[in-house]
Amino acid sequence: EARNPGQPEFLQAVTEVMESLWPFIAAHPKYAEQGLLDRLVEPERVVMFRVSWVDDHGQVQVNRGYRIQHSMAIGPYKGGIRFHPSVTLSVLKFLAFEQTFKNALTTLPMGGGKGGSDFDPKGKSPAEVMRFCQAFVMELFRHVGPDTDVPAGDIGVGGREVGYMAGMYKKLANSAASVFTGKGLSFGGSLVRPEATGYGTVYFAEEMLKTRGKSFQGMRVSVSGSGNVAQYAVEKAMALGAKVVTVSDSSGTIVDEDGFSPEKLAILMDVKNHHYGRVSDYAERTGVKFEAGKRPWHVPVDVALPCATQNELDEADARTLIANGVLCVAEGANMPSTIEAAKAFEAAGVLYAPGKASNAGGVATSGLEMSQNAMRLSWTREEVDARLLQIMQGIHAACVKHGQRADGSVSYIDGANIAGFVKVADAMLAQGVV
């Protein structure tokens, strides 16, 4: 704590991982050698930079940009870019740390990184968003590269923003190398990348439900958020026969007892992706109930999929979900549950998957995009989707293997942390103290 003052999210993420690792390392002392843990919690490099740009009124705006290059032990730094006013050094350090374990879990050769800015895309014109993205890349470009660091999207950064950044990178670097994933299909993107995090979260939850002889068929499901991850989690849960009764954003929650339909989801996507609107606009267009200022967790469900942001589900929310009989919680977002909430789920015997396991489908498919770019070819939708499903099943199996408790039950928290750690740690030990 003395080393990282004012970084609560980073300390939260490290604490959660270390609680899983201490007993494991006590049983496997080779992982206490070479200062391994001290090195693992220190990012290899942190870049912070000024982003200045001119808004539509001719005013100069100054934001802060970051890239956290956490670990290159198993491959180039890899992780998304987030544009949101809540972005701080602490938030991005937590995300880069988590990313390192997540990327290891995918079994693909990707290290961990994360970046972003406190820029708020809400209320900005398309031209302002483009100028900001270009200004951001004017500094970022010198720190990234196809074998160095490969960024992608995250909150506030979707296909449009990745396109602007990839375009500016090409101009500055005079190189068409793929240094971003989540690109448009016309310039090297992969089919299924936009869907991958949401689909992957549902595939993972389906594997968890299978361990109890159940499936999504007929389940009541709540989803939080209404962005990229949430939208495709809704789509896949519906496709597997579930009734999705909520989505949300920072203004409030939609509660729809009739459940989502493909038609309603198309309206939500139009509101969010084309008009950059709010879920309240969606409620107005469809006539469904909107609860201003509320989160979805008071709504009774069998499966909860938090897909918005960190610490959006606290211990009181967890207790409400448990009292209402929730069976399974799979995180589409990164660290949406507080440590206390996660512990409450595990203590109550709820199937609980931390984001680094259940939302790894996004970065896994980014890894598949990198492979396709390197081979200069594109796989079909079916091929990418099949690989995504296989990877999610593999991560589930790794969690079950490493998270097995003495009584035969599974801690997905321990499983994900230990399985990710072993891969990174073995690579670090083999490469010496660097």
* Residues contributing to the site for ligand NDP (CB under 6 A): 84, 86, 153-156, 158, 197, 225-230, 249-251, 307-309, 312, 332-334, 359, 362
Q: Which residue number, 158 or 403, has a Cβ lying nearer to ligand NDP?
A: 158
Q: Which residue number, 25 or 154, has a Cβ lying nearer to ligand NDP?
A: 154
Question: Smallest distance from the beta carbon of 240 to ligand NDP, in angstroms?
Answer: 20
Task: Compute how many other C-beta atoms are within 10 angstroms of the C-beta atom of residue 20.
Answer: 21
114 is catalytic: yes
Q: Tell me how far apart the alpha carbons of residues 301 and 146 are, in angstroms, rounded to a whole number.
A: 43
Q: Which residue number, 49 or 276, has a Cβ lying nearer to ligand NDP?
A: 276
Q: Tell me how far apart the alpha carbons of residues 30 and 80 are, in angstroms, rounded to a whole number.
A: 32
Question: Smallest distance from the beta carbon of 330 to ligand NDP, in angstroms?
Answer: 12
In 3-state terms, what secondary structure has residue 115?
strand
- 344 token code pair: 């409450």
The conformational region for residue 95 under phi > 0 = left, psi -120 to 50 = alpha, else beta, is alpha
Q: Tell me how far apart the alpha carbons of residues 49 and 44 are, in angstroms, rounded to a whole number.
A: 17
Question: Smallest distance from the beta carbon of 332 to ligand NDP, in angstroms?
Answer: 6
Dihedral angle over CA of 378, 383, 384, 388, nearest 10: -160
Q: Which residue number, 153 or 367, has a Cβ lying nearer to ligand NDP?
A: 153
In contact, 433 and 34? CB cutoff 8 Å: yes
Q: Which of 93, 114, 183, 423 is catalytic?
A: 114
If you search the block for the tokens 């670090």, which residue do you land on?
Answer: 428
Question: Smallest distance from the beta carbon of 154 to ligand NDP, in angstroms?
Answer: 5
Q: Tell me how far apart the alpha carbons of residues 337 and 341 are, in angstroms, rounded to a whole number.
A: 6
Chain position whose Cβ is nearest to ligand NDP = 227
Q: Which residue number, 7 or 310, has a Cβ lying nearer to ligand NDP?
A: 310
Helix (H) or strand (E) segment spanning residue 414: helix 412-430
Q: Is 236 annotated as a binding residue?
A: no
Question: Smallest distance from the beta carbon of 98 to ligand NDP, in angstroms?
Answer: 9
Strand partners, 305: 223
Question: Smallest distance from the beta carbon of 408 to ligand NDP, in angstroms?
Answer: 30
Question: Smallest distance from the beta carbon of 396 to ligand NDP, in angstroms?
Answer: 16
Contacts of 19 (CB under 8 A, 6+ apart): none
Q: Is 210 annotated as a binding residue?
A: no
Question: Smallest distance from the beta carbon of 25 to ligand NDP, in angstroms?
Answer: 27
Q: Is 153 annotated as a binding residue?
A: yes
Q: Tell me how far apart the alpha carbons of residues 373 and 277 are, in angstroms, rounded to a whole number.
A: 33
For 341, list phi and psi in degrees, rounded to 5: -65, -45
Q: Which residue number, 233 or 350, has a Cβ lying nearer to ligand NDP?
A: 233
List, as own/partner pairs, every contact residues 278-284 make where C-beta atoms lie below 8 angstroms and the sequence separation is at least 24, other chains included: 278/249, 278/251, 279/226, 279/247, 279/248, 279/249, 279/251, 279/252, 279/253, 279/254, 280/251, 280/252, 282/226, 282/254, 283/254
Q: Is 366 annotated as a binding residue?
A: yes
Q: Is 197 annotated as a binding residue?
A: yes
Q: Which residue number, 84 or 124, has a Cβ lying nearer to ligand NDP?
A: 84
Q: Is the alpha carbon torsion for 164, 167, 172, 176 positive or negative?
A: positive
Q: Tell me how far apart the alpha carbons of residues 392 and 383 are, in angstroms, rounded to a whole number.
A: 14
Strand partners, 81: 115
Q: Is the alpha carbon torsion for 221, 225, 228, 229 positive or negative?
A: negative
Q: Which residue number, 37 or 163, has a Cβ lying nearer to ligand NDP?
A: 163
Annotated binding-site residues read 78, 99, 102, 153, 197, 228, 366
Annotated binding-site residues for NAD(+) read 197, 228
Q: Mind telling me the catalytic residues?
A: 114
Annotated binding-site residues for substrate read 78, 99, 102, 153, 366
